[in-house]
Amino acid sequence: MMSKLIQGYEVVIGFETHTQLATQSKIFSRASTAFGAEPNTQAAPVDLALPGTLPVMNKGAVECAIKLGLALGSTIAEKSIFARKNYFYPDLPKGYQISQFEIPVVQGGLVEFYLGDEKKTVRLVRAHLEEDAGKSLHEDFIGQSGIDLNRAGTPLLEIVTEPDMRSSDEAVAYAKELHKIVTWIGICDGNMQEGSFRCDANVSVRKPGAELGTRREIKNLNSFKFMQQAIDFEIRWQIEQIEDGKKIQQATVLFDPDTGETRAMRTKEDAADYRYFPDPDLPPLHVAPSWVNDVKATMPELPRVMAQRFVSDYALPEYDATQLTQSQSCAAYFETAAKACGQAKLASNWVMGELSRRLNQEEKSFEQSPVSAQKLGALISRIHDGTISNNAAKQVMDAMWTEGGEVDAIIEAKGLKQMNDSGALEKIIEEVLAANPDNVAQFKAGKEKAFNALVGQAMKASKGKANPSQVNEMLKAKLAAA
Ligand code: ADP
Ligand code: MG
Protein backbone atom coordinates (compact mmCIF):
# COMPACT_ATOMS: atom_id res chain seq x y z
CA MET A 1 0.00 0.00 0.00
CA MET A 2 1.20 3.51 -0.75
CA SER A 3 1.72 5.44 2.43
CA LYS A 4 0.55 8.99 2.86
CA LEU A 5 3.09 11.52 1.61
CA ILE A 6 3.82 14.83 3.29
CA GLN A 7 4.91 17.49 0.77
CA GLY A 8 6.01 14.64 -1.48
CA TYR A 9 8.07 12.92 1.22
CA GLU A 10 7.58 9.51 2.77
CA VAL A 11 8.10 9.26 6.52
CA VAL A 12 10.10 6.34 7.98
CA ILE A 13 10.05 5.55 11.70
CA GLY A 14 11.64 2.83 13.81
CA PHE A 15 11.25 2.50 17.58
CA GLU A 16 13.49 1.52 20.46
CA THR A 17 11.48 1.10 23.66
CA HIS A 18 12.98 0.68 27.11
CA THR A 19 10.57 -1.20 29.34
CA GLN A 20 11.43 -1.44 33.01
CA LEU A 21 10.70 -4.99 34.07
CA ALA A 22 8.35 -5.60 36.96
CA THR A 23 10.78 -7.63 39.07
CA GLN A 24 11.14 -7.06 42.81
CA SER A 25 14.90 -6.83 42.68
CA LYS A 26 17.49 -5.54 40.24
CA ILE A 27 18.89 -7.38 37.27
CA PHE A 28 22.29 -8.20 38.82
CA SER A 29 21.82 -7.46 42.54
CA ARG A 30 19.26 -8.01 45.30
CA ALA A 31 18.47 -4.32 45.83
CA SER A 32 14.82 -3.31 45.48
CA THR A 33 13.51 -1.74 42.27
CA ALA A 34 10.64 0.15 43.98
CA PHE A 35 10.15 3.68 42.67
CA GLY A 36 10.41 6.85 44.74
CA ALA A 37 12.71 5.91 47.64
CA GLU A 38 15.22 8.32 49.20
CA PRO A 39 18.25 8.68 46.89
CA ASN A 40 20.85 5.90 47.16
CA THR A 41 18.92 3.79 49.67
CA GLN A 42 18.38 1.07 47.07
CA ALA A 43 21.86 0.62 45.70
CA ALA A 44 23.71 -2.61 46.49
CA PRO A 45 27.51 -2.85 46.21
CA VAL A 46 27.10 -4.26 42.68
CA ASP A 47 24.99 -1.24 41.66
CA LEU A 48 27.63 1.06 43.15
CA ALA A 49 30.32 -0.78 41.16
CA LEU A 50 32.43 -1.42 44.25
CA PRO A 51 35.62 -3.32 43.43
CA GLY A 52 35.39 -7.07 43.87
CA THR A 53 31.63 -7.32 43.43
CA LEU A 54 30.15 -9.60 40.77
CA PRO A 55 26.81 -9.47 38.97
CA VAL A 56 24.36 -12.38 39.35
CA MET A 57 21.61 -12.73 36.75
CA ASN A 58 18.02 -12.29 38.01
CA LYS A 59 15.96 -15.24 36.77
CA GLY A 60 12.74 -13.21 36.93
CA ALA A 61 14.08 -10.71 34.39
CA VAL A 62 14.85 -13.52 31.96
CA GLU A 63 11.31 -14.84 32.39
CA CYS A 64 9.97 -11.42 31.42
CA ALA A 65 11.98 -11.57 28.20
CA ILE A 66 10.66 -15.08 27.50
CA LYS A 67 7.10 -13.86 28.02
CA LEU A 68 7.53 -11.01 25.56
CA GLY A 69 9.03 -13.39 23.00
CA LEU A 70 6.10 -15.78 23.41
CA ALA A 71 3.57 -12.96 23.11
CA LEU A 72 5.07 -11.59 19.90
CA GLY A 73 6.00 -14.85 18.17
CA SER A 74 9.75 -14.22 18.43
CA THR A 75 12.57 -16.70 18.52
CA ILE A 76 13.92 -17.12 22.04
CA ALA A 77 17.64 -17.72 21.83
CA GLU A 78 18.82 -20.82 23.67
CA LYS A 79 22.11 -19.05 24.26
CA SER A 80 22.57 -15.31 24.44
CA ILE A 81 25.49 -13.17 25.54
CA PHE A 82 25.92 -10.18 27.85
CA ALA A 83 28.26 -7.46 26.67
CA ARG A 84 29.78 -4.32 28.10
CA LYS A 85 28.76 -1.06 26.46
CA ASN A 86 31.46 1.39 27.48
CA TYR A 87 30.83 5.09 28.00
CA PHE A 88 31.53 7.77 30.57
CA TYR A 89 28.70 9.40 32.40
CA PRO A 90 28.33 10.45 36.05
CA ASP A 91 25.31 8.19 36.60
CA LEU A 92 27.21 5.09 35.40
CA PRO A 93 29.75 4.24 38.11
CA LYS A 94 31.15 1.13 36.38
CA GLY A 95 31.99 3.07 33.23
CA TYR A 96 30.02 0.54 31.23
CA GLN A 97 26.45 -0.68 30.97
CA ILE A 98 25.81 -4.42 30.88
CA SER A 99 23.64 -5.08 27.84
CA GLN A 100 23.22 -7.67 25.11
CA PHE A 101 24.80 -6.84 21.78
CA GLU A 102 25.53 -9.46 19.15
CA ILE A 103 23.25 -12.21 20.46
CA PRO A 104 20.11 -10.94 22.24
CA VAL A 105 17.70 -13.24 24.03
CA VAL A 106 14.63 -12.29 21.94
CA GLN A 107 14.96 -12.23 18.14
CA GLY A 108 12.34 -11.26 15.54
CA GLY A 109 8.60 -11.24 16.15
CA LEU A 110 5.66 -9.06 15.12
CA VAL A 111 3.45 -6.41 16.67
CA GLU A 112 0.03 -6.28 14.97
CA PHE A 113 -2.59 -3.59 15.53
CA TYR A 114 -5.29 -1.58 13.82
CA LEU A 115 -4.91 2.00 12.67
CA GLY A 116 -8.53 2.88 12.08
CA ASP A 117 -9.76 0.02 9.89
CA GLU A 118 -6.35 -0.80 8.54
CA LYS A 119 -4.34 -3.66 9.95
CA LYS A 120 -0.68 -2.84 10.50
CA THR A 121 2.25 -5.11 11.20
CA VAL A 122 5.54 -3.89 12.63
CA ARG A 123 8.47 -6.31 12.61
CA LEU A 124 10.72 -6.53 15.63
CA VAL A 125 14.44 -6.79 15.18
CA ARG A 126 15.16 -7.90 18.72
CA ALA A 127 14.58 -7.39 22.40
CA HIS A 128 17.57 -7.47 24.69
CA LEU A 129 18.10 -7.43 28.43
CA GLU A 130 20.18 -4.68 29.98
CA GLU A 131 20.58 -2.64 33.14
CA ASP A 132 19.32 0.90 33.62
CA ALA A 133 21.70 3.68 34.65
CA GLY A 134 21.35 5.96 37.69
CA LYS A 135 20.07 9.51 37.59
CA SER A 136 21.70 12.90 37.91
CA LEU A 137 19.76 15.23 40.19
CA HIS A 138 20.39 18.88 39.47
CA GLU A 139 19.81 20.82 42.67
CA ASP A 140 19.60 24.29 41.17
CA PHE A 141 18.97 25.96 44.53
CA ILE A 142 22.43 25.04 45.77
CA GLY A 143 24.01 25.06 42.34
CA GLN A 144 25.12 21.45 42.63
CA SER A 145 24.32 18.12 41.05
CA GLY A 146 23.97 14.83 42.87
CA ILE A 147 23.84 11.25 41.72
CA ASP A 148 21.03 8.87 42.70
CA LEU A 149 21.89 5.24 42.03
CA ASN A 150 18.53 3.76 43.05
CA ARG A 151 17.69 3.21 39.40
CA ALA A 152 21.11 1.78 38.53
CA GLY A 153 20.71 -1.90 37.74
CA THR A 154 16.94 -1.80 37.22
CA PRO A 155 16.19 -4.49 34.64
CA LEU A 156 15.27 -3.23 31.19
CA LEU A 157 14.11 -4.98 28.09
CA GLU A 158 14.94 -2.84 25.06
CA ILE A 159 12.53 -3.65 22.25
CA VAL A 160 13.76 -2.62 18.79
CA THR A 161 11.65 -2.49 15.61
CA GLU A 162 12.51 -2.46 11.93
CA PRO A 163 11.92 0.97 10.34
CA ASP A 164 8.40 -0.13 9.37
CA MET A 165 6.21 2.79 10.45
CA ARG A 166 5.14 5.43 7.96
CA SER A 167 3.41 8.16 10.01
CA SER A 168 3.26 9.60 13.51
CA ASP A 169 -0.24 8.11 13.88
CA GLU A 170 1.10 4.66 13.10
CA ALA A 171 4.03 5.15 15.48
CA VAL A 172 1.74 6.15 18.34
CA ALA A 173 -0.62 3.24 17.59
CA TYR A 174 2.38 0.88 17.68
CA ALA A 175 3.55 2.29 21.00
CA LYS A 176 0.06 1.96 22.49
CA GLU A 177 -0.20 -1.64 21.30
CA LEU A 178 3.22 -2.53 22.73
CA HIS A 179 2.28 -0.80 25.99
CA LYS A 180 -0.91 -2.85 26.13
CA ILE A 181 0.97 -6.10 25.55
CA VAL A 182 3.74 -5.57 28.12
CA THR A 183 1.24 -4.58 30.81
CA TRP A 184 -1.17 -7.37 29.81
CA ILE A 185 1.49 -10.07 30.23
CA GLY A 186 2.61 -8.40 33.45
CA ILE A 187 6.27 -7.77 32.61
CA CYS A 188 6.06 -3.95 33.04
CA ASP A 189 3.82 -1.71 35.13
CA GLY A 190 3.50 0.63 32.14
CA ASN A 191 3.79 3.79 34.26
CA MET A 192 5.10 6.27 31.71
CA GLN A 193 5.43 9.19 34.13
CA GLU A 194 7.75 7.14 36.32
CA GLY A 195 9.77 6.14 33.28
CA SER A 196 8.71 2.49 33.17
CA PHE A 197 8.01 2.66 29.43
CA ARG A 198 10.28 5.04 27.48
CA CYS A 199 10.30 5.28 23.73
CA ASP A 200 13.04 6.51 21.39
CA ALA A 201 11.64 7.34 17.96
CA ASN A 202 14.04 7.18 15.00
CA VAL A 203 12.67 9.41 12.27
CA SER A 204 13.76 10.03 8.69
CA VAL A 205 12.11 11.20 5.47
CA ARG A 206 12.75 10.31 1.83
CA LYS A 207 11.31 10.69 -1.63
CA PRO A 208 9.20 7.60 -2.43
CA GLY A 209 11.36 4.79 -3.78
CA ALA A 210 14.62 6.42 -2.66
CA GLU A 211 17.04 4.82 -0.18
CA LEU A 212 16.41 5.38 3.54
CA GLY A 213 17.15 8.93 4.61
CA THR A 214 19.42 9.87 7.51
CA ARG A 215 17.58 9.47 10.80
CA ARG A 216 17.46 11.54 13.94
CA GLU A 217 16.59 9.76 17.18
CA ILE A 218 14.14 11.48 19.55
CA LYS A 219 15.01 10.23 23.02
CA ASN A 220 12.88 9.33 26.03
CA LEU A 221 9.34 10.06 24.92
CA ASN A 222 7.28 9.34 28.01
CA SER A 223 3.75 10.26 26.94
CA PHE A 224 1.76 9.38 23.84
CA LYS A 225 0.80 13.02 23.37
CA PHE A 226 4.42 14.24 23.37
CA MET A 227 5.34 11.32 21.13
CA GLN A 228 2.92 12.52 18.47
CA GLN A 229 3.94 16.18 18.81
CA ALA A 230 7.65 15.40 18.76
CA ILE A 231 7.47 13.18 15.67
CA ASP A 232 5.25 15.65 13.80
CA PHE A 233 7.63 18.49 14.58
CA GLU A 234 10.65 16.41 13.57
CA ILE A 235 9.08 15.45 10.22
CA ARG A 236 8.31 19.07 9.37
CA TRP A 237 11.78 20.18 10.45
CA GLN A 238 13.57 17.54 8.37
CA ILE A 239 11.53 18.29 5.25
CA GLU A 240 12.23 21.99 5.67
CA GLN A 241 15.98 21.35 5.96
CA ILE A 242 16.04 19.22 2.82
CA GLU A 243 13.90 21.69 0.90
CA ASP A 244 16.39 24.38 1.93
CA GLY A 245 19.13 22.28 0.35
CA LYS A 246 20.65 21.21 3.67
CA LYS A 247 21.65 17.67 4.65
CA ILE A 248 20.25 15.90 7.72
CA GLN A 249 22.98 15.02 10.21
CA GLN A 250 22.47 11.85 12.19
CA ALA A 251 21.81 13.03 15.74
CA THR A 252 20.18 12.32 19.05
CA VAL A 253 17.55 14.94 19.88
CA LEU A 254 15.32 15.83 22.81
CA PHE A 255 11.74 17.04 22.68
CA ASP A 256 10.88 20.11 24.72
CA PRO A 257 7.17 20.05 25.61
CA ASP A 258 7.25 23.76 26.44
CA THR A 259 8.29 24.86 22.95
CA GLY A 260 6.91 21.82 21.08
CA GLU A 261 10.29 21.52 19.34
CA THR A 262 13.07 18.97 19.13
CA ARG A 263 16.68 20.03 19.51
CA ALA A 264 19.96 18.22 19.02
CA MET A 265 21.57 16.86 22.20
CA ARG A 266 24.64 15.26 20.62
CA THR A 267 25.74 13.91 17.30
CA LYS A 268 25.00 10.23 17.24
CA GLU A 269 27.60 7.73 18.39
CA ASP A 270 28.25 4.63 16.32
CA ALA A 271 28.28 1.18 17.86
CA ALA A 272 32.09 1.26 17.47
CA ASP A 273 32.28 4.22 19.86
CA TYR A 274 31.00 1.97 22.64
CA ARG A 275 33.75 -0.65 22.26
CA TYR A 276 31.35 -3.49 23.00
CA PHE A 277 32.86 -6.77 24.19
CA PRO A 278 31.46 -9.84 25.99
CA ASP A 279 31.26 -9.32 29.75
CA PRO A 280 33.73 -11.72 31.36
CA ASP A 281 31.82 -11.50 34.67
CA LEU A 282 28.70 -13.15 33.27
CA PRO A 283 28.43 -16.59 31.66
CA PRO A 284 26.26 -16.94 28.52
CA LEU A 285 22.55 -16.97 29.29
CA HIS A 286 21.01 -20.38 28.62
CA VAL A 287 17.26 -20.68 28.09
CA ALA A 288 16.28 -24.32 27.63
CA PRO A 289 13.10 -25.10 25.62
CA SER A 290 11.66 -26.72 28.76
CA TRP A 291 12.00 -23.40 30.59
CA VAL A 292 10.18 -21.63 27.74
CA ASN A 293 7.39 -24.24 28.00
CA ASP A 294 7.09 -23.73 31.75
CA VAL A 295 6.75 -19.99 31.25
CA LYS A 296 4.23 -20.52 28.45
CA ALA A 297 1.98 -22.40 30.87
CA THR A 298 1.78 -19.30 33.09
CA MET A 299 0.86 -16.88 30.29
CA PRO A 300 -2.57 -15.23 30.21
CA GLU A 301 -4.74 -15.39 27.09
CA LEU A 302 -3.36 -12.67 24.80
CA PRO A 303 -5.51 -9.71 23.71
CA ARG A 304 -5.68 -10.69 20.05
CA VAL A 305 -6.64 -14.27 20.85
CA MET A 306 -9.21 -13.06 23.36
CA ALA A 307 -10.73 -10.67 20.80
CA GLN A 308 -11.10 -13.52 18.32
CA ARG A 309 -12.80 -15.60 20.99
CA PHE A 310 -15.23 -12.75 21.74
CA VAL A 311 -16.16 -12.69 18.05
CA SER A 312 -16.69 -16.44 17.81
CA ASP A 313 -18.17 -17.17 21.27
CA TYR A 314 -20.35 -14.09 21.70
CA ALA A 315 -21.00 -13.21 18.03
CA LEU A 316 -19.66 -9.70 18.68
CA PRO A 317 -18.57 -7.42 15.84
CA GLU A 318 -14.81 -7.20 15.49
CA TYR A 319 -14.88 -3.55 16.50
CA ASP A 320 -16.52 -4.39 19.83
CA ALA A 321 -14.09 -7.23 20.48
CA THR A 322 -11.08 -4.98 19.85
CA GLN A 323 -12.42 -2.24 22.09
CA LEU A 324 -13.29 -4.62 24.92
CA THR A 325 -9.79 -6.12 24.90
CA GLN A 326 -8.04 -2.77 25.37
CA SER A 327 -7.25 -3.90 28.89
CA GLN A 328 -7.57 -7.08 30.91
CA SER A 329 -9.81 -5.41 33.44
CA CYS A 330 -12.22 -4.16 30.76
CA ALA A 331 -12.34 -7.60 29.13
CA ALA A 332 -12.92 -9.34 32.46
CA TYR A 333 -15.67 -6.89 33.38
CA PHE A 334 -17.40 -7.44 30.04
CA GLU A 335 -17.24 -11.23 30.27
CA THR A 336 -18.70 -11.32 33.76
CA ALA A 337 -21.55 -8.99 32.77
CA ALA A 338 -22.23 -10.90 29.53
CA LYS A 339 -22.35 -14.23 31.36
CA ALA A 340 -24.63 -12.82 34.06
CA CYS A 341 -27.26 -11.71 31.53
CA GLY A 342 -26.62 -13.92 28.51
CA GLN A 343 -26.86 -10.83 26.26
CA ALA A 344 -23.33 -10.20 25.01
CA LYS A 345 -24.09 -7.41 22.53
CA LEU A 346 -26.15 -5.48 25.09
CA ALA A 347 -23.39 -6.00 27.65
CA SER A 348 -20.81 -4.75 25.14
CA ASN A 349 -22.90 -1.64 24.40
CA TRP A 350 -23.26 -0.84 28.08
CA VAL A 351 -19.60 -1.48 28.93
CA MET A 352 -18.25 0.61 26.03
CA GLY A 353 -20.96 3.27 26.33
CA GLU A 354 -22.61 4.22 29.60
CA LEU A 355 -20.13 2.47 31.90
CA SER A 356 -16.91 3.69 30.20
CA ARG A 357 -18.32 7.20 30.03
CA ARG A 358 -18.99 7.24 33.77
CA LEU A 359 -15.61 5.67 34.65
CA ASN A 360 -13.75 8.17 32.43
CA GLN A 361 -15.60 11.07 33.94
CA GLU A 362 -14.51 10.04 37.43
CA GLU A 363 -11.09 8.79 36.31
CA LYS A 364 -11.80 5.35 37.68
CA SER A 365 -10.60 1.97 36.45
CA PHE A 366 -12.91 -0.98 35.81
CA GLU A 367 -11.76 -2.49 39.10
CA GLN A 368 -12.92 0.65 40.87
CA SER A 369 -16.36 0.71 39.23
CA PRO A 370 -19.04 1.47 41.85
CA VAL A 371 -21.36 -0.89 39.91
CA SER A 372 -20.05 -4.44 39.68
CA ALA A 373 -20.18 -6.47 36.46
CA GLN A 374 -22.69 -8.81 38.14
CA LYS A 375 -25.02 -5.90 38.83
CA LEU A 376 -24.70 -4.52 35.32
CA GLY A 377 -25.59 -8.02 34.08
CA ALA A 378 -28.68 -8.05 36.32
CA LEU A 379 -29.69 -4.64 34.99
CA ILE A 380 -29.33 -5.77 31.38
CA SER A 381 -31.48 -8.84 32.14
CA ARG A 382 -34.27 -6.52 33.26
CA ILE A 383 -34.04 -4.52 30.02
CA HIS A 384 -34.00 -7.66 27.96
CA ASP A 385 -37.01 -9.28 29.66
CA GLY A 386 -39.01 -6.08 29.22
CA THR A 387 -39.29 -5.18 32.91
CA ILE A 388 -37.76 -1.73 32.36
CA SER A 389 -37.10 0.58 29.44
CA ASN A 390 -33.64 1.80 28.47
CA ASN A 391 -34.39 5.14 30.03
CA ALA A 392 -35.47 3.58 33.29
CA ALA A 393 -32.31 1.45 33.21
CA LYS A 394 -30.21 4.62 33.20
CA GLN A 395 -32.06 5.77 36.31
CA VAL A 396 -31.33 2.43 38.00
CA MET A 397 -27.68 2.80 36.97
CA ASP A 398 -27.61 6.29 38.48
CA ALA A 399 -28.98 5.00 41.76
CA MET A 400 -26.58 2.05 41.94
CA TRP A 401 -23.67 4.31 41.02
CA THR A 402 -24.29 6.84 43.75
CA GLU A 403 -26.03 4.87 46.49
CA GLY A 404 -25.45 1.19 45.73
CA GLY A 405 -28.35 -1.23 46.08
CA GLU A 406 -29.81 -4.09 44.09
CA VAL A 407 -31.39 -3.77 40.65
CA ASP A 408 -34.82 -5.26 41.46
CA ALA A 409 -35.16 -3.38 44.74
CA ILE A 410 -34.39 -0.06 43.00
CA ILE A 411 -36.89 -0.76 40.20
CA GLU A 412 -39.50 -1.48 42.86
CA ALA A 413 -38.68 1.48 45.09
CA LYS A 414 -38.62 3.97 42.23
CA GLY A 415 -41.67 2.48 40.50
CA LEU A 416 -39.78 2.05 37.22
CA LYS A 417 -41.47 -1.10 35.97
CA GLN A 418 -42.72 -0.86 32.43
CA MET A 419 -46.46 -1.25 32.07
CA ASN A 420 -46.81 -4.74 30.68
CA ASP A 421 -50.49 -4.97 31.62
CA SER A 422 -52.19 -4.69 28.24
CA GLY A 423 -55.60 -4.06 29.83
CA ALA A 424 -54.35 -0.95 31.62
CA LEU A 425 -52.55 0.24 28.52
CA GLU A 426 -55.63 -0.29 26.38
CA LYS A 427 -57.58 1.95 28.72
CA ILE A 428 -54.95 4.68 28.49
CA ILE A 429 -54.94 4.51 24.72
CA GLU A 430 -58.71 4.74 24.50
CA GLU A 431 -58.63 7.80 26.73
CA VAL A 432 -55.91 9.42 24.63
CA LEU A 433 -57.84 8.81 21.40
CA ALA A 434 -61.01 10.24 22.94
CA ALA A 435 -59.19 13.31 24.25
CA ASN A 436 -57.39 14.09 20.96
CA PRO A 437 -59.92 13.93 18.12
CA ASP A 438 -57.92 16.48 16.08
CA ASN A 439 -54.84 14.27 15.99
CA VAL A 440 -56.97 11.27 15.06
CA ALA A 441 -58.55 13.18 12.19
CA GLN A 442 -55.14 14.45 10.98
CA PHE A 443 -53.72 10.93 11.08
CA LYS A 444 -56.62 9.66 8.99
CA ALA A 445 -55.89 12.49 6.54
CA GLY A 446 -52.40 11.00 6.11
CA LYS A 447 -50.33 13.10 8.52
CA GLU A 448 -47.68 10.81 10.12
CA LYS A 449 -46.74 13.45 12.69
CA ALA A 450 -50.17 13.17 14.26
CA PHE A 451 -49.42 9.53 15.06
CA ASN A 452 -46.23 10.45 16.90
CA ALA A 453 -48.17 13.01 18.90
CA LEU A 454 -50.59 10.28 19.99
CA VAL A 455 -47.71 7.98 20.99
CA GLY A 456 -46.28 10.85 23.02
CA GLN A 457 -49.60 11.45 24.77
CA ALA A 458 -49.96 7.76 25.64
CA MET A 459 -46.41 7.57 26.99
CA LYS A 460 -47.04 10.66 29.07
CA ALA A 461 -50.32 9.29 30.41
CA SER A 462 -48.47 6.11 31.47
CA LYS A 463 -45.85 8.27 33.22
CA GLY A 464 -43.25 6.82 30.87
CA LYS A 465 -43.85 3.28 32.06
CA ALA A 466 -45.52 1.96 28.94
CA ASN A 467 -43.43 -0.04 26.54
CA PRO A 468 -43.10 2.27 23.51
CA SER A 469 -43.26 -0.51 20.93
CA GLN A 470 -46.36 -1.92 22.60
CA VAL A 471 -47.94 1.56 22.52
CA ASN A 472 -47.10 1.82 18.85
CA GLU A 473 -48.69 -1.50 17.98
CA MET A 474 -51.81 -0.96 20.04
CA LEU A 475 -52.35 2.55 18.68
CA LYS A 476 -52.01 1.34 15.11
CA ALA A 477 -54.52 -1.45 15.71
CA LYS A 478 -57.00 0.89 17.40
CA LEU A 479 -56.71 3.53 14.69
CA ALA A 480 -57.17 0.94 11.97
CA ALA A 481 -60.27 -0.41 13.67
CA ALA A 482 -61.75 3.03 14.44
P1 ADP B 1 21.45 2.03 16.75
O2 ADP B 1 21.59 0.76 17.48
O3 ADP B 1 22.72 2.68 16.40
O4 ADP B 1 20.52 2.99 17.40
P5 ADP B 1 19.96 0.55 14.72
O6 ADP B 1 20.40 0.30 13.32
O7 ADP B 1 19.89 -0.58 15.64
O8 ADP B 1 20.84 1.72 15.31
O9 ADP B 1 18.54 1.23 14.61
C10 ADP B 1 17.90 1.77 15.68
C11 ADP B 1 16.49 2.05 15.30
O12 ADP B 1 16.45 2.98 14.22
C13 ADP B 1 15.71 0.84 14.81
O14 ADP B 1 14.43 0.90 15.40
C15 ADP B 1 15.64 1.03 13.32
O16 ADP B 1 14.45 0.47 12.81
C17 ADP B 1 15.61 2.51 13.21
N18 ADP B 1 16.13 3.02 11.93
C19 ADP B 1 17.25 2.63 11.30
N20 ADP B 1 17.44 3.34 10.17
C21 ADP B 1 16.40 4.22 10.08
C22 ADP B 1 16.03 5.25 9.16
N23 ADP B 1 16.77 5.52 8.10
N24 ADP B 1 14.90 5.93 9.41
C25 ADP B 1 14.16 5.69 10.49
N26 ADP B 1 14.45 4.75 11.39
C27 ADP B 1 15.57 4.02 11.20
MG1 MG C 1 19.63 3.56 19.36
Which of 244, 277, 294 marks a domain boundary? 294
Report the distance separating Cα 127 and Cα 80, nearest Å. 11
Question: 68 and 140 share a domain?
Answer: yes
Per-residue model confidence as pLDDT tens digits over 79-124:
999 999 999 999 999 999 999 999 999 999 999 998 988 889 999 9
Please give the distance, rounded to the nearest whole angstrom, from the Cα atom of residue 88 to the centre of ligand 1: 23
Question: 341 and 437 share a domain?
Answer: no
Please give the distance, rounded to the nearest whole angstrom, from the Cα atom of residue 257 to the centre of ligand 1: 24
Question: 103 and 165 share a domain?
Answer: yes
Q: Say if residue 405's pLDDT is above 50.
A: yes
Question: 397 and 429 share a domain?
Answer: no
Residues 227, 173 contacting (CB under 8 angstroms)? no
Question: 356 and 432 share a domain?
Answer: no
Residue 75 CB: number of other CB atoms within 10 A? 12
Domain span at residue 365 reads: 301-414
Give, for ligand 1, the residue of 178, 202, 219 to mutate: max count of ligand atoms closer than 8 Å to Cβ. Answer: 202
Pocket (CB within 6 angstroms of ligand 1): 12-16, 160-163, 202-204, 212-213, 215, 271
Question: 335 and 256 share a domain?
Answer: no
pLDDT at residue number 468: 83
Which of 414, 432, 450 marks a domain boundary? 414
Q: Which ligand is nearest to the CA of 124?
A: 1
Res. 464 pLDDT band, cuts 50 70 90: confident
Report the distance separating Cα 224 and Cα 176, nearest Å. 8
pLDDT at residue number 425: 84
Please give the distance, rounded to the nearest whole angstrom, from the Cα atom of residue 16 to the centre of ligand 2: 7
Question: 195 and 259 share a domain?
Answer: yes
- Count of domains observed in the chain: 3
Which of 397, 414, 431 marks a domain boundary? 414
Question: 150 and 24 share a domain?
Answer: yes
State the chain's mean pLDDT as an integer: 94
Q: What is the CATH number of the domain that holds 471?
A: 1.10.10.410
| E strand residue ranges, 216-268 | 216-221, 251-256, 261-267
Question: 134 and 118 share a domain?
Answer: yes
Single-letter code of the amino acid located at 310 = F
Please give the number of the atom of ligand 1 that sits closest to the Cα of 202: 26
Please give the distance, rounded to the nearest whole angstrom, from the Cα atom of residue 37 to the centre of ligand 1: 35
Please give the distance, rounded to the nearest whole angstrom, from the Cα atom of residue 201 to the centre of ligand 1: 9
Residues 283, 256 contacting (CB under 8 angstroms)? no
Please give the number of the atom of ligand 1 that sits closest to the Cα of 217: 12
Report the distance separating Cα 446 and Cα 450, nearest Å. 9
Question: 249 and 314 share a domain?
Answer: no
Dihedral (CA of 462, 467, 472, 476) sign: negative
Res. 157 pLDDT band, cuts 50 70 90: very high
pLDDT at residue number 162: 98
Res. 465 pLDDT band, cuts 50 70 90: confident
More confident residue, 392 or 197: 197
Give, for ligand 1, the residue of 3, 13, 15, 16 to mutate: max count of ligand atoms closer than 8 Å to Cβ. Answer: 16
Report the distance separating Cα 394 and Cα 342, nearest Å. 19
pLDDT at residue number 423: 81
Q: What percent of the chain has pLDDT over 90?
A: 81
Per-residue model confidence as pLDDT tens digits over 308-333:
999 999 999 998 999 999 999 999 99
Q: Say if residue 1's pLDDT is above 80.
A: no
pLDDT at residue number 268: 66
Per-residue model confidence as pLDDT tens digits over 238-247:
999 999 999 9
pLDDT at residue number 299: 97
Specify the pTM: 0.84
Cα dihedral value 19, 25, 30, 35, nearest 10 = 90
Per-residue model confidence as pLDDT tens digits over 30-71:
999 999 899 999 999 999 999 999 999 999 999 999 999 999
Please give the distance, rounded to the nearest whole angstrom, from the Cα atom of residue 461 to the centre of ligand 2: 71
Res. 226 pLDDT band, cuts 50 70 90: very high
Q: Which ligand is nearest to the CA of 202?
A: 1
Residue 292 contacts by C-beta under 8 Å, 6 or more apart in sequence?
A: 66, 69, 70, 76
Please give the number of the atom of ligand 1 that sits closest to the Cα of 268: 3
Question: 123 and 36 share a domain?
Answer: yes
Q: Which ligand is nearest to the CA of 250?
A: 1
Question: 236 and 319 share a domain?
Answer: no
Please give the distance, rounded to the nearest whole angstrom, from the Cα atom of residue 116 to the centre of ligand 1: 26
Please give the distance, rounded to the nearest whole angstrom, from the Cα atom of residue 269 to the centre of ligand 2: 9
Please give the distance, rounded to the nearest whole angstrom, from the Cα atom of residue 198 to the centre of ligand 1: 16
Q: Say if residue 274's pLDDT is above 60.
A: yes
pLDDT at residue number 3: 63
Q: What percent of the chain has pLDDT over 70?
A: 98
Specify the residue with its C-alpha closest to ligand 1, atom 6: 162
Q: Which ligand is nearest to the CA of 201?
A: 1
Q: Which ligand is nearest to the CA of 15?
A: 1
Please give the number of the atom of ligand 1 that sits closest to the Cα of 161: 14
Please give the number of the atom of ligand 1 that sits closest to the Cα of 212: 23
Residues 113, 175 contacting (CB under 8 angstroms)? no
Specify the residue with its C-alpha closest to ligand 1, atom 14: 14
